[in-house]
C-alpha cells in the first residue's frame, strides 16, 4: 500500500486513544482523514481491502472521469496536469495512492467493520470489526462508497438462464465478447459506456435495454464541460433548470425517437433530484444513430433460455450485462441506529450528524449534478469542522 508511514500491525486499543475512525479508503474517506488531520484531530482509516481506492481498481478498463481534472481533486493535492482533462481509471488510482502518501494518512488495510454502535457510556462509538476486534472511537465517518453492493434485479427465471449473466461491476473490457450477441441492461452512464465499448471491441450485436429514457448531455460543448453547467445551476429552481435544459437539448441533441430513444418526458433536474444523473455522451448517440447499438424495451423476465422484454418480445443474447446499479449496503453497519431513510441512504451527510447519533458522519452517498468528487472534497472540510465542534475543539 502506497502510504508514507508503515501500516500498523495492530490497531490502537489503549483506553487513552480514541481516534476518529474513518470507514473506507476511497476518495471520500481519504479526503475526510486529511481534513481531520489538518485540524489536529487523529483519524484512522479502516479499509477492508488491501489497498486504497479498491472500488476504482475494479472499474472497467476504458473508464475516464466525466468530471474535469481540476474539479475532481481532493483537498490538499492537485491531480497532475499530465493526467489530462478527463482522468483515466488507472491514473485516478495512482492519484489516490499518492494522496495517502503525500498527506501521511494513517490507514489500516484488511479490516472490515461489521457494525457501529454507541459505547455503553454514550460518549463515543464502538466498532465491531473483523478478527473479533472492538475499537472505540470518539467519532466515526462512514465512507464505504456509493457503489458498494452490486444489485441485479430478481427477474423471474433468472436462476435458470443458461447464458452468461453478469453485473457491470465485473465487466472489464470487450475482449471476451468479440463476435458475440450481447444485451446491456440499464441506460445509465455505466450501461451506455459499456455498450459503446462492446461496439468498438467487435461484438457482433449490441442491444441496450431501457426502462426509463435517460437525459443525455454532451460531456463537453465547445470546450465547456457539462460539469461546469451543473455547478452553476444546482442552486437554481428546479422548474427553471428543467426548462433551460429542455431547450438546450432540442438545439444540440439529435432526435432518436425512430431508433427507440425518444426525448425524456420529465425534466432533467427533476430527475436529478430523484437520484438519476444525466448520461454524458461518450459515443452512445452516434452508436444508436448508426444502428450499432439497438435500443430495446426493459427486461421483464427470463424464460426458456430467452430474455422477455416489457413489450412482449423475446430475444436470445449470448450474454447479458446488468448495469443495474448498486445498493449502499449500510443496513447491517448502521441500520439499527435509525439514521437511514427508506431507500437505505443516510438521512444527513457532510458536516451534519443525526440527532439520534451525534458524532456519526457520512460522506459519498449522493451523486450530485455538480460531480461526486467535487462534493466529497467539500464535505471533507464540513465533516472536519463538525467533528471539531463535537469534540469541543480539542485535537486528538
Mean pLDDT score of the chain, rounded to an integer? 91
pLDDT digits (tens, 9 = 90+) for 126-172: 999 999 999 999 999 999 988 778 999 999 999 989 899 999 999 99
**Do 100 and 62 lie in a common domain?**
yes
pTM above 0.85, yes or no: yes
pLDDT digits (tens, 9 = 90+) for 74-85: 999 999 999 999
pLDDT at 174: 97
Q: 100-139 burial string, b = 16+ CB within 10 Å, else e?
A: bbebebbbbbebebeebebeeeeebbebebeeebebbbbb
**Do 185 and 77 lie in a common domain?**
no
**Do 317 and 262 lie in a common domain?**
yes
On whether residue 396 sits in a domain, the answer given is no
CA dist., res. 188 & res. 323, Å (int): 8
**Do 347 and 381 lie in a common domain?**
yes
pLDDT at 1: 37
- Name the pLDDT band for 6 (thresholds 50, 70, 90): very low
pLDDT digits (tens, 9 = 90+) for 305-319: 899 999 999 999 999
pLDDT digits (tens, 9 = 90+) for 257-305: 999 999 998 999 999 888 788 999 999 999 999 999 999 999 999 998 8
**What's 375's domain CATH number?**
3.50.50.60
Number of domains in the chain: 2
**Do 286 and 142 lie in a common domain?**
no
- Name the pLDDT band for 102 (thresholds 50, 70, 90): very high
**Do 176 and 307 lie in a common domain?**
yes
Q: 21-47 burial string, b = 16+ CB within 10 Å, else e?
A: bbbbbbbbbbbbbbbbbebebbbbbbb
On whether residue 92 sits in a domain, the answer given is yes
Q: Indicate whether 2 pLDDT > 50.
A: no
**Do 201 and 89 lie in a common domain?**
no
Domain that holds residue 204: 151-325
Which phi-psi region, left, alpha or beta, contains residue 125 (left: φ > 0; alpha: ψ -120 to 50)? beta
pLDDT at 277: 87
**Do 135 and 192 lie in a common domain?**
no
- Name the pLDDT band for 13 (thresholds 50, 70, 90): very low
Give yes or no for a contact between 33 and 43, defined as CB atoms under 8 angstroms apart: yes
**Do 219 and 290 lie in a common domain?**
yes
Q: What percent of the chain has pLDDT over 70?
A: 95
On whether residue 290 sits in a domain, the answer given is yes
pLDDT at 343: 87
CA dist., res. 215 & res. 278, Å (int): 5
Q: What percent of the chain has pLDDT over 90?
A: 80
**Do 286 and 189 lie in a common domain?**
yes
Q: Indicate whether 373 pLDDT > 70.
A: yes
User: Last residue of a domain, which of 301, 325, 349?
Assistant: 325
Give yes or no for a contact between 363 and 350, defined as CB atoms under 8 angstroms apart: yes
- Name the pLDDT band for 17 (thresholds 50, 70, 90): low
Q: Which residue is it, cell 499518492?
A: 98
pLDDT at 82: 97
pLDDT at 235: 87
CA dist., res. 178 & res. 31, Å (int): 40
User: Last residue of a domain, which of 307, 325, 343?
Assistant: 325
CA dist., res. 25 & res. 2, Å (int): 12
On whether residue 282 sits in a domain, the answer given is yes
CA dist., res. 379 & res. 388, Å (int): 14
CA dist., res. 25 & res. 161, Å (int): 37
pLDDT at 61: 95
Give yes or no for a contact between 273 and 233, defined as CB atoms under 8 angstroms apart: no
CB burial class (10 A; 0-12, 13-18, 19+) of residue 377? buried
Q: Which residue is it, cell 472536519?
A: 384
24-28, 90-94, 198-202, 231-235: range with lowest mean pLDDT:
231-235
The stretch 37-64 carries a mean pLDDT of 95
Amino acid at each position: 500500500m502506497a502510504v508514507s508511514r508503515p501500516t500498523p500491525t495492530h490497531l490502537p486499543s489503549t483506553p487513552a486513544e480514541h481516534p476518529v475512525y474513518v470507514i473506507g479508503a476511497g476518495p471520500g474517506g481519504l479526503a475526510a482523514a486529511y481534513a481531520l488531520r489538518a485540524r489536529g484531530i487523529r483519524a484512522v482509516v479502516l479499509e477492508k481491502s488491501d489497498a486504497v481506492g479498491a472500488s476504482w481498481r475494479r472499474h472497467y478498463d476504458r473508464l475516464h472521469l466525466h468530471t474535469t481534472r481540476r474539479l475532481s481533486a481532493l483537498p490538499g493535492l492537485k491531480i497532475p496536469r499530465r493526467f489530462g482533462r478527463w482522468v483515466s481509471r488507472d491514473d485516478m488510482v495512482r492519484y489516490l495512492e499518492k494522496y495517502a502518501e503525500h498527506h501521511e494518512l494513517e490507514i489500516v488495510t484488511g479490516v472490515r467493520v461489521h457494525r457501529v454502535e454507541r459505547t455503553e457510556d454514550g460518549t463515543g462509538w464502538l466498532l465491531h470489526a473483523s478478527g473479533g476486534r472492538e475499537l472505540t472511537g470518539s467519532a466515526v465517518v462512514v465512507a464505504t462508497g456509493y457503489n458498494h453492493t452490486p444489485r441485479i434485479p430478481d427477474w423471474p427465471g433468472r436462476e435458470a438462464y443458461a447464458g452468461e449473466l453478469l453485473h457491470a461491476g465485473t465487466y472489464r473490457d470487450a475482449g471476451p465478447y468479440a463476435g458475440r450477441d450481447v444485451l446491456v441492461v440499464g441506460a445509465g452512464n455505466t450501461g451506455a459506456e459499456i455498450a459503446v465499448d462492446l461496439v468498438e471491441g467487435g461484438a457482433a450485436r449490441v442491444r441496450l435495454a431501457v426502462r426509463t429514457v435517460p437525459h443525455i448531455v454532451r460531456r463537453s460543448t465547445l470546450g465547456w464541460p457539462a460539469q461546469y453547467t451543473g455547478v452553476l445551476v444546482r442552486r437554481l429552481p428546479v422548474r427553471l433548470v428543467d426548462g433551460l435544459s429542455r431547450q438546450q437539448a432540442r438545439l444540440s441533441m439529435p432526435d432518436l425517437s425512430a431508433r427507440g430513444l425518444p426525448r425524456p418526458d420529465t425534466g432533467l433536474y427533476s430527475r436529478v433530484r430523484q437520484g438519476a444523473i444525466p448520461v454524458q455522451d461518450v459515443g452512445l448517440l452516434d452508436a444508436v444513430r448508426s444502428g450499432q447499438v439497438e435500443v430495446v424495451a426493459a427486461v421483464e423476465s427470463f424464460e426458456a433460455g430467452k430474455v422477455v422484454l416489457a413489450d412482449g418480445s423475446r430475444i436470445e443474447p449470448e450474454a447479458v450485462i446488468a448495469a443495474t446499479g448498486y445498493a449502499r449496503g449500510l443496513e447491517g453497519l448502521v441500520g439499527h441506529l435509525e439514521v437511514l431513510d427508506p431507500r437505505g441512504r443516510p438521512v444527513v451527510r457532510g458536516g451534519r450528524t443525526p440527532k439520534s447519533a451525534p458524532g456519526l458522519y457520512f460522506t459519498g452517498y449522493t451523486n450530485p449534478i455538480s460531480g461526486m468528487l467535487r462534493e466529497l472534497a467539500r464535505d471533507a472540510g464540513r465533516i472536519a469542522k463538525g467533528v471539531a465542534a463535537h469534540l469541543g475543539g480539542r485535537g486528538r
